[in-house]
Amino acid sequence: MSAPDACRTTLEIDSQPETWRRVTDSVGGFAAALPRRGERVAVVGCGTSWFMALAYAQLRESGGHGETDAFAASEFPTGRTYDRVLAITRSGTTTEVLDLLASVKGTVPTAAITADPKTEVMELADAVAVLDFADEESVVQTRFATTVIALLRAHLEAEGALPDGVLPMDRAIADAERAVATPLAPEVCAAEQFTFLGTGWTYGLALEAGLKMREAAGAWTESYPAMEYRHGPISITGPGRVAWLFGAAPQGLADDVDRVGGTFVAASGDAADALDPLADLILAQRLAVVIAQGRGYDPDRPRNLTRSVVLDHGQD
Ligand SMILES: N[C@@H]1[C@@H](O)[C@H](O)[C@@H](COP(=O)(O)O)O[C@@H]1O
């Protein structure tokens, strides 16, 4: 398979080790916008940002930093009480996120993580972490999303609240450097269907990997918690189809995929040279570009998508 052209999305994907390093080195400067130990926090977003919210909620709660729920911004349960609402939004313009921040303003402290300091989210949130160095031209989010997790993870690490088994950011960055340079298996690049699996915080990564493949490549993907795989999703696996696991493998899962003729991928599994799961997401992002280009799609111009969704309430 010929090397993909260096499209905009690829340049952004390949720059992730650098943006993770930058955010890790400056984590203290963002502390005002980040959850304090013991706070009960709701994290919200849309699309990729929702999946990053899910990943962070699991990381924070399992690290003992405090109770954390994650919601698609449109599904926030009004009536629940939180100590803080944290919004993740690259654009700072997504209608559901802004509506939610406006609706809770004054009743609960709010914070946001965004890439663009010139948007309405700056006024709506009480505190904002601006990751402008991780902003992207692409419609499809890659580097902003993972840099948000790098920030939140580095913050948990600094607070002594990194869950057992989750690597410090220095190790994750070294793995990200490996991930941008690792060749993708031709068998995986040629597959027709992908099921992404994860557990705990890596379930959010599995959801995001599936979304990336749909957004950039129009691919048929599904994402599930790893233990749910045998409860139905396995029925669609077979030759030419991939089951891609983020994180440690549940006992016997590789054998189950093998038995039905599928391809099992577990670069962040149990092997001695396993990648950090967030670095493994870089492989999935790169795969999305390769599949898109193989199908004649331009990953920089995905079908039917806009960079952010701004709804006109007047036309409801
Ligand atoms: N097509 C984009 C998605 O790729 C993005 O994940 C989502 C959230 O955007 P933001 O993080 O800017 O709020 O908006 C749109 O749906």
Same CATH topology for 8-169 and 182-294?
A: yes
Closest C-alpha to ligand 1, atom 13: 89
Number of the ligand 1 atom closest to the C-alpha atom of 305: 1
| Mutation to probe ligand 1, out of 43, 52, 91 (largest number of atoms < 8 A from CB) | 91
The confidence score (pLDDT) of residue 303 equals 87
What is the Å distance from ligand 1's center to 88 Cα? 10
Q: How many CA atoms lie less than 13 Å away from 14 in the CB half-sphere?
A: 11
Q: How far is the CA of 262 from the centre of ligand 1 (A)?
A: 32
Read off the amino acid at residue 227: M
The ipTM (two decimal places) reads 0.96
Predicted pLDDT at 19? 98
Query: By alpha-carbon position, which residue is closest to atom 5 of ligand 1?
Result: 47
Residue 2: what pLDDT? Answer: 46
Ligand 1, pocket residues at CB < 6 Å: 45-49, 89-91, 94, 97, 139-141, 215, 305-306, 308-309
How far is Cα 152 from Cα 252, in angstroms, rounded to an integer? Answer: 32
What is the whole-number distance in angstroms between the Cα of residue 136 and the centre of ligand 1? 12
Say what the pLDDT of residue 1 is: 45
250: left (phi over 0), alpha (psi -120 to 50) or beta: beta
CA 303 to ligand 1 center in whole angstroms: 14
Q: Which atom of ligand 1 is least distant from the CA of 144?
A: 11
Site to probe by mutation for ligand 1, drawn from 51, 56, 74, 90 as the one with most ligand atoms within 8 Å of Cβ, is 90
Instruction: Give 311 Cα–ligand 1 centroid separation in angstroms.
Output: 13
pLDDT at residue 126 in the model: 98
Q: Going by CA atoms, what residue is nearest to atom 4 of ligand 1?
A: 140
The continuous run of DSSP H or E covering 58 comes out as helix 48-62
Name the residue at shortest CA distance from atom 10 of ligand 1.
89
Closest CA to 245 of 265, 228, 262, 225: 265
Sorted by where each begins, the domain ranges of the chain are 8-169, 182-294
Can you give the pLDDT at residue 314? 64
- State the Cα–Cα distance between residues 30 and 46, nearest whole angstrom: 22
User: From the CA of 48, how far away is ligand 1's center (Å)?
Assistant: 6
CATH architecture for segment(s) 8-169: 3-Layer(aba) Sandwich (3.40)
pLDDT tens for the 316 residues of the chain, in order: 444 457 999 999 999 999 999 999 999 999 999 999 999 999 999 999 999 999 999 999 999 999 999 999 999 998 899 999 999 999 999 999 999 999 999 999 999 999 999 999 999 999 999 999 999 999 999 999 999 999 999 999 999 999 999 999 999 999 999 999 999 999 999 999 999 999 999 999 999 999 999 999 999 999 999 999 999 999 999 999 999 999 999 999 999 999 999 999 999 999 999 999 999 999 999 999 999 999 999 989 888 898 889 998 765 5
Nearest ligand 1 atom, CA 306 = 1
Of 160, 177, 158, 152, the residue nearest 43 (C-alpha): 152
Distance 309 CA to ligand 1 centre (A): 7
Q: Hey, CA dihedral for 217, 138, 222, 309, is it positive or negative?
A: negative
Count how many residues are written for the chain: 316
Homologous superfamily of domain range 182-294? Glucose-6-phosphate isomerase like protein; domain 1 (3.40.50.10490)
pLDDT of residue 312: 86
**Minimum-distance ligand 1 atom for the alpha carbon of 94:** 13
